Amino acid sequence: MIKLENVYKRYNQGLDFFESLSNINLEIKENEFISIVGPSGSGKSTLLNIIGGLDTISDGKVLIKNKDISTFSDEMLSLYRNKEVGFVFQEFCLEPFLTVYENILLPTHFSKNKNRQTEIYADKLINEVGLLSKKNAKISELSGGQKQRVAIARSLINSPKILLADEPTGNLDTQTGDTILKLLQDLHKTHKTTLIIATHDQEIAKKSVRLIKIKDGKII
Amino acid sequence: MILLALKNIKVRKLRTFLISFSITIGTMSLIIFLGLNEGIKKASFEELEKSKSLNEITVRPKVEESQALAVFKTLTERRLQEKDLETIKNIEGVAFAYPETQFNEFTSLETNLMGYSLITDAMVFGIEEGYIKNDIKIANSWNETNQPYPAIVSRKLLDIYNFTIAIPQGLPTISEKTLIGKEITMYPGFSTFFPDLKNKSDEIKLKVVGFSDKVSMVGITLPLNIVETLNQKYAPKSKTQFHQIHVITNNPENTSEIAKTISSKNYSTHYLLEEVQNISAKVNYLTYALLAISILILSTSSLAIISTFLGQIAERIKELGLYRALGARKNQIKKLILIEASLIGLFGSILGILLGKTISIFINNYIEKKLEIFEIIPENFLIITPKIITIVLFFGTLIAIFSAYYPASKASNISPIKAISK
C-alpha cells in the first residue's frame, strides 16, 4: 500500500544542505501497524509527514496505492490529506473556539461531504473514543487525554486508509498514554486502517506489529 | 465553509469590530454624500419644475455674441415686438404665447407691514392672465381696470425677505396668507436710490392677488394691459415692446423641436429640458467631488482592513496551517478568508446604512424645524433611495472583499508543515 523508493529529504543551509532523510526504502502493507522509532532529530517525523503528504521530498518516490504522491499538485495533495490520511499530532492541534463535535467535523468542511451521514458518523466516533458526555464541551474544558481522543476521532471522520500519529502520547502521563495507545490500536483494527506511529518511546514501539528504527535519517 | 467563517467572526471579536467599524464609517459617509447629492438634485429639479413646466419655452431677443457689436445696437432693436409675437404664435406646435412687458420708468413700491412702512425701488412687469391664472387667489381680479390694480408677487421674494431681513433683524416673518389683499402704493418716476428722482408726484394703488413661482423675482407683476397703459402715460417715448415671450407648446415631447425652430428664427430660447441638462451637468461635478471624498474615506477603510487582516493572518498561521493539514485546498483557505471579509463587510455596511439613515433623518428634521417658514428650502436635504442603499451595500461588501484579497492570498500560501511544526 505504501512504498518509499530511494527517498531523500534535504534542507538548504546557506551554501550547504542538511540531509534529514537519506535513501529511505520502505514498504508498508495495508492494515499494518508499525512504529517508527528513533531519537529526537532522527527524521521520524519528517518521514511521517512525507507519507502524509504534508512535506515534500528532494529525491525518490513515495507510492501510495501505486501512485507517486511526490508528483501530485497542491490540490491533489490536499485531497489526499483530506480523504486518505488521518493525522494525530503530539500537540493535539485542536481548534479552541470549536466544540468537541465541531472539531471532529472540521475536515469535512474541506471535503464537501458534510451531511447528515457524516454527523451520525461523528456521533459514532465520539462514542467510540468515550467522549459522548463531552460532545458539546469546549476544548479548554478537556484534559490532555480527552483532547487526544478528540484528535483521534477527528482523524477518522473521513474514513482514511492511513492513520499517522506523531508522538501521540508525548504530552500525556504514562497511564493516559497507555489508554490512548490502546484506543489507537482498537480503532486501527475496527476501522481497518494502516497505523503508523512515530515515537521515541521503545515501550510504545514494542506494541506495534512491526518496528522501523531510524537514526540520522537512515533506516537501521 | 460559511459556518466556519461565522465561527471565526464570532470568536475574533476585536478584528470583527475593527473591520466593521472601518466599513461602517466608510459606508456611512458614502450614504450621506449620495443622499446629499440626491437631495440637491431633486431640490434643483423641483425648483425648476415650479417655475417652468415641460411644455414651456421662454423666448428672448437674440444676444449678439460679440459684445463690441452689441454696444452699437439700440435698446429697441433688442426688444421683442408685436410682429415677433405673431411669428412665434404661427410656429407649428405652439399652443399659447404670452408676452411679458415691463414698465419702462423708474418706480418705487411702498407698503405697510405690521406697523412698518417699507419702501423700495422695484421693477414692474406685465403679463396676460392665462400665464398665471392658477396663481391668482382672488377670483376675476386680473381683469380689474380700476385702482387698486391686481398684482402678483414672486413667491421667492417672500422667502428672501423672511430669510435675509425678517429673521436676521428680529422682525416678524410674513406668510402668503397675510399678504393676500394687501395694498401697495406704486410711485412712478420715484427712486429711493437716485436724488434726482425724489418726487412722489403721482401714486398708483395696487392690491396683492396672488403669489407665483413663474413671475420675476425682482419686482411685481401686473396685468399686461395695465403696464401698457402706464407706459403710455409715464414712458410715452417707449414703443410697445416685450422683454420676453412665454411659449406653451401643445405637447411636452415636441418642446425641444419647437425651441430649435424658434432659435432658427434668430431668437434666444430657454426651456426646462435644457436647464435640467445644464443642472445635471453641474450636479454631476458635485457628485464626482463627493464620490472622490467617499472613495478617499473608503480607501482609508480599505487600508485599515488590509492591515487588520494581515495582522490576523500572521496570528492564525497555526490554525490555517492545520486546515491545510486536514485537507483544505489553497483556494478554500482564500475562500474562507474572503467569506469572513464579505460577512463582516455586509454587517459593517448595514450598520453604516442604518447610521447614515439615522443621521439623515436627524438632519432633515433639524433643517425642517429651523427653516420651516421658507418655501424655497427643499423638503429633504438628504434623500436616501433604495438604489443608494443597494449601491452602498454592494460597495461596502466589495471593499471588504477587495481589501481582504491580498491577505487571503497570503494565507492560502501558508505551508501546512511549517505551520504545524511552529
Least Cα separation, residue A164 to chain B (angstroms): 12
Other CB atoms within 10 Å distance of the CB of residue A24: 23
pLDDT beyond 60 at B65:
no
pLDDT beyond 50 at B383:
yes
- Give me the residue label for grid cell 424645524: B369
Give the DSSP H/E element, type plus range, for residue B117.
Answer: strand B116-121
Partner-chain contact B7 A55, CB within 8 Å = no
Phi, psi of A100, deg, nearest 5:
-55, -50
pLDDT beyond 80 at A91:
yes
Taking only the tens place, the pLDDT of each residue in B316-341 is 888 899 999 999 999 999 999 999 99
pLDDT beyond 90 at B377:
no
Best mean pLDDT range from A82-86, B188-192, B195-199, B253-257: A82-86
- Give me the residue label for grid cell 501546512: B416
Contact (Cβ atoms closer than 8 angstroms) between residue B240 and residue B81: yes
Contact (Cβ atoms closer than 8 angstroms) between residue B404 and residue B333: no
Q: Any idea which of B46-60, B273-287, B369-383 has the lowest mean pLDDT?
A: B369-383
Cell numbers representing residue B164 in the block: 435675509
What percent of chain B is predicted at pLDDT more than 90? 32
Contact residues, chain B, for A47 at CB < 8 Å: none
Partner-chain contact A93 B324, CB within 8 Å = no
pLDDT beyond 70 at B240:
no
Closest partner residue to B326 (CB to CB) among A55, A74, A81 is A81
Contact (Cβ atoms closer than 8 angstroms) between residue B211 and residue B134: no
CB neighbour class for A58 (10 Å; exposed up to 12, middle 13-18, buried from 19): middle
Does the predicted model carry a pTM greater than 0.80? Answer: no
Give the separation between CA B339 and CA B404, rounded to whole angstroms: 10
pLDDT for the residue numbered A7? 92
CB neighbour class for A16 (10 Å; exposed up to 12, middle 13-18, buried from 19): exposed
pLDDT for the residue numbered B209? 94
pLDDT for the residue numbered B375? 53
Three-state secondary structure call for residue A203? helix
Return the HEC string of B377-407.
CCCCCCCCCHHHHHHHHHHHHHHHHHHHHHH
pLDDT for the residue numbered B51? 61
Taking only the tens place, the pLDDT of each residue in A99-157 is 999 999 999 988 877 678 888 889 999 998 888 899 999 998 998 889 999 999 999 99
Partner-chain contact A81 B323, CB within 8 Å = no
Q: Does A101 touch chain B (CB under 8 A)?
A: no
pLDDT beyond 90 at A78:
yes
Partner-chain contact A106 B420, CB within 8 Å = no
- The predicted model gives B293-320 an average pLDDT of 86
Give the model's confidence band at B76: pLDDT under 50 very low, under 70 low, under 90 confident, else very high. very low
Q: Does A99 touch chain B (CB under 8 A)?
A: no
What percent of chain A is predicted at pLDDT more than 70? 99
* The total number of residues written for chain B in this structure: 422
Mutate to test the interface with A, among B315, B316, B326 (most CBs of A within 10 A): B326
Q: Does A35 touch chain B (CB under 8 A)?
A: no
Give the model's confidence band at A92: pLDDT under 50 very low, under 70 low, under 90 confident, else very high. confident
Partner-chain contact B325 A81, CB within 8 Å = yes
Cis peptide before B148 (omega within 30 of 0): yes
**CA of residue B123 relative to chain centroid, distance:** 27
Contact (Cβ atoms closer than 8 angstroms) between residue A64 and residue A80: yes
- The predicted model gives B240-269 an average pLDDT of 88
Of B404 and B419, the one with more pLDDT: B404
Least Cα separation, residue B348 to chain A (angstroms): 23
Contact residues, chain B, for A97 at CB < 8 Å: 7-8, 10-11
- Beta strands A210-215; A33-37: pairing state: parallel
Partner-chain contact B327 A82, CB within 8 Å = yes
Three-state secondary structure call for residue A164? strand
Give the model's confidence band at B297: pLDDT under 50 very low, under 70 low, under 90 confident, else very high. confident
Least Cα separation, residue B417 to chain A (angstroms): 6
Contact residues, chain B, for A11 at CB < 8 Å: none
**Amino acid letter, B146:** N
Closest partner residue to A95 (CB to CB) among B319, B325, B417 is B319
Phi, psi of B177, deg, nearest 5:
-55, -45
Of A202 and B332, the one with more pLDDT: B332
Q: Does A97 touch chain B (CB under 8 A)?
A: yes
Q: Any idea which of B346-355, B379-388, B392-401 has the lowest mean pLDDT?
A: B379-388
Partner-chain contact A79 B329, CB within 8 Å = yes
Query: Which residue in B has a C-alpha nearest to residue A85's C-alpha?
Result: B326
Contact (Cβ atoms closer than 8 angstroms) between residue B190 and residue B108: yes
